[in-house]
Structure 1
Amino acid sequence: MSRKAVITGLGATTPTGGDVPTFWQNSLQGVSGARPMEYDWVEKYELPVTFAATAAVPAAEVLKKVETKRMDPSTQFGVIAAREAVADSGLDLDDIDKDRFAVAMATGIGGVWTLLDAWDTLRERGPRRVLPMTVPMLMPNGPAAAVSLDLGARAGSFTPVSACASGTEALGNALELIRSGKADIVVCGGAEAAIHPLPIGAFAAMQALSKRNDDPEHASRPYDIDRDGFVIGEGAGALIIESEEHAKARGARIYAELAGTAVTSDAHHITAPDPDGLGATRALKGALEDAGVAPTDVVHVNAHATSTPVGDIPEYTAMRAAFGDHVENIKVSATKSQTGHLLGASGAIEAVLTVKALYERTAPLTINLENQDPQIPLDVVTSRTDFGTGDLVAVSNSFGFGGHNAVGVFRSY
């Protein structure tokens, strides 16, 4: 059995918007989500990086207090995004077969806040004061499990954990569940909440973060010759993936088709990408083949583009290898320039933007590109773009530590 998978609902909570309409409008206006961190622990630990792309709307302003107490921040974001996606899809949860409703909610790091808070409690106050819910709150499957419980999804709850490729891998899980006939509906995406002193200190120690403390809004600058690292972000994205027949039978609005995905691995280095982009090239080619589209069909790419000196060039190399000379005709958006890098949630929020780009026939902006690196001669979207009429194909790239590569291909509907 092989069925077409379509996207009927979108949800997101990000550094540039607490819901999809705000997130999308700000992506067209070039709004930066990077800002100084107003936490006492920034000074306490003398962190070398004092800014991040924090969530535009704190989860505590959306969820009930009893919910926030029982969920790690990453899970809180995942539940918020999933609920919005369901509402946007028009699904009546009382009128669907929950045994054919699945979840694929990814993360890169998981419940780091819960884990480290519990460790502090253990050391300072003893084991009797450690919360009984600590283990289920810190597990990486927390967002997927919470979304499954919240929505009553019983066809499986999956948790890809593949660093910064995790959110896009979740799309592959969803596509396989729909194509195989194992589910009719899948809520998929990714969630992350790692703006914590330990991850920030560790990323800074490995020279991965930008240190533009005096100018946070301009710190994330993919493809710019002066890029000096990424800006860590937090939040979640979610998409409702349905079989085409299920969506049509209930009269759903269809944003786009999830046409293909692919996952590969570099087997090169624990943090650095393959400098020749070989694994990323295979992922791009594999996703296009899976979607049944030619490289020349692609009009838009939402690139991984983290703003790291070593990361941006291999991605261009891979795109040149996969698309050939047609890469010069592709409109490329590097949206981490706005949102920062949401790690395991990045592929999810970028998939939301890619789907919106097809549906609205325009692309999100890349900001802070002042002096484009001559080694990356892409057609980067820095001003309003109109895709016009006709069928459109777009691609979203995600690459992560450990050599994880994941690519999603979307087709206008």
Structure 2
Amino acid sequence: RTMGNVALMAVVTAEEALKDAGLLGDEIITNGRTGVSYGSSTGSLDAILDFYSMCIDKEVKLLNSGSYIKMMPQTTAVNISLYFQTHGRLIPTSTACTSGSMGIGYAYEAIKDGYQDVMIAGGAEEIHPTQVGVFDTLYATSSKNNTPELTPSPFDKNRDGLVIGEGAGTLILEEYEHAKARGAEIYAEIAGFATNTDGTHITNPNKDMMAEVMKQALQSAGVSADEIGYVNAHGTGTINGDIAESLATENVFKREVPISSIKSYTGHTLGACGAIETILAVEMMNKKWFNPTLNLKEIDENCGKLDYIQNEGRAIETEYVMTNNFAFGGINTSIILKKFSK
């Protein structure tokens, strides 16, 4: 009764993540040492429209006791906490396209600072006509409706915008000694995290602040740019966004660092993208194989000088990767992932 599609996806992936971590049903979930840091751009949009109908039709027949819980921006975090009966910190992250990465970053900080031993972290988003319409009004979406296999095409000269997707990604973050003591399978370490805001424009990205958040993440991790073997780009396929991000990345790395965009496969999953992309970045790092950007045929000469992985995957062995996300409102995040060594 309290879950719309966005919360359902969040809870389902959280359950799968807890199973994978060997923590489903463990007492640590309910003893106050486990928290939730999770977000989405909005609550369930069907529920929001039901509330609008009350104003238009002057009736409340579409509403019930769970309607508000479905629509509120913290619906994913709250429903995860209620479903698994956690009693630790609850950190809702409704920060548009950085909701998922912000959830991971704040979870990392909660464990790093000793407040929690385990955090359920990530992001989710449900697709809805209203969301597609919003991006259409901003002239941000691709118009290649008749050739969907050709779009999105991040960093390509002929790109024409993003494609909206949906989904959820959930990670279990755990304090190292606690995970080690119980013999948990560890996939990677979060070595650093940073977030900042542009403070300049609601939709136009600021490449200087994008660069700054990457530098802050490197400082947080205590590593140099030369130690990063791959960058997962936010890479939405928008004209201004791809240019600003790539120029910022070039500014930080001062070399042609390997880079690609997962959104060329998934579309832009908004509040979920940071979590989904972090999971896939870990998988690629561990498998020493990094995906190319789909539909990248001719690199836009206005983009930064980087090593764009295109056409086929790339074998790269690296100890560190960076994954970046940027959101409307000038909200920037950068996460440094480290390969786990026993």
Tell me the distance in 2 between the aligned counterparts of 1:117 and 1:129.
6
Specify the SS of the correspondent of 1:161: coil
- The alpha-carbon deviation at position 304 of structure 1 amounts to 0.4
Q: Match of 2:208, as an amino acid?
A: L
Greater alpha carbon shift after TM alignment, 221-230 vs 110-119: 110-119
State the partner residue of 1:254: 186
The answer (yes or no) to whether the contact 1:262–1:286 under 8 Å persists in 2 is yes
The answer (yes or no) to whether the contact 2:29–2:84 under 8 Å persists in 1 is no
**Unpaired segments of 5 or more residues in structure 2?**
none
Q: How many equivalent pairs are there?
A: 337
- The alpha-carbon deviation at position 128 of structure 1 amounts to 4.3
Say whether 1:142 aligns with 2:75.
Answer: yes
State the partner residue of 2:20: 88
The answer (yes or no) to whether the contact 1:353–1:364 under 8 Å persists in 2 is no
Matches within 5 A, 1:42-53: none
Say whether 1:400 aligns with 2:327.
Answer: yes
Deviation string for 1:284-321 (max 9, x for gaps)? 00000001111000001110010001100111111111
- The alpha-carbon deviation at position 364 of structure 1 amounts to 2.4
4+ residue segments displaced more than 4 Å: none
Q: CA RMSD in A?
A: 1.5
Tell me the distance in 2 between the aligned counterparts of 1:233 and 1:92.
29
State the partner residue of 1:372: 299
- The alpha-carbon deviation at position 113 of structure 1 amounts to 2.1
TM-score, normalisation: structure 2: 0.95
Tell me the distance in 2 between the aligned counterparts of 1:200 and 1:399.
18
Which residue of 60, 74, 99 maps to 1:127? 60
Identity, % of aligned positions: 37
- The alpha-carbon deviation at position 132 of structure 1 amounts to 1.8
State the partner residue of 2:140: 208
Greater alpha carbon shift after TM alignment, 75-84 vs 247-256: 75-84
- The alpha-carbon deviation at position 392 of structure 1 amounts to 1.0
Say whether 1:307 aligns with 2:217.
Answer: no
State the partner residue of 1:114: 47
Deviation string for 1:100-141 (max 9, x for gaps)? 001101111222221013423664471244222111110011
TM-score, normalisation: structure 1: 0.79
Tell me the distance in 1 between the aligned counterparts of 2:95 and 2:228.
26
Tell me the distance in 1 between the aligned counterparts of 2:51 and 2:148.
31
Say whether 1:385 aligns with 2:318.
Answer: no
State the partner residue of 2:151: 219
Say whether 1:356 aligns with 2:283.
Answer: yes
- The alpha-carbon deviation at position 94 of structure 1 amounts to 2.9
Deviation string for 1:202-225 (max 9, x for gaps)? 211110111111011212000011
Matches within 5 A, 1:313-332: 313-325=243-255, 328=256, 330-332=257-259
Tell me the distance in 2 between the aligned counterparts of 1:378 and 1:117.
47
The answer (yes or no) to whether the contact 1:77–1:191 under 8 Å persists in 2 is yes
- The alpha-carbon deviation at position 331 of structure 1 amounts to 1.9
Specify the SS of the correspondent of 1:212: coil
Which residue of 203, 213, 220 maps to 1:283? 213
Tell me the distance in 2 between the aligned counterparts of 1:145 and 1:224.
40
- The alpha-carbon deviation at position 412 of structure 1 amounts to 0.4
The answer (yes or no) to whether the contact 1:256–1:410 under 8 Å persists in 2 is yes
The answer (yes or no) to whether the contact 2:155–2:299 under 8 Å persists in 1 is yes
Tell me the distance in 2 between the aligned counterparts of 1:359 and 1:254.
11
State the partner residue of 1:53: none
Which residue of 96, 102, 125 maps to 1:169? 102
Tell me the distance in 2 between the aligned counterparts of 1:363 and 1:121.
49
State the partner residue of 2:131: 199
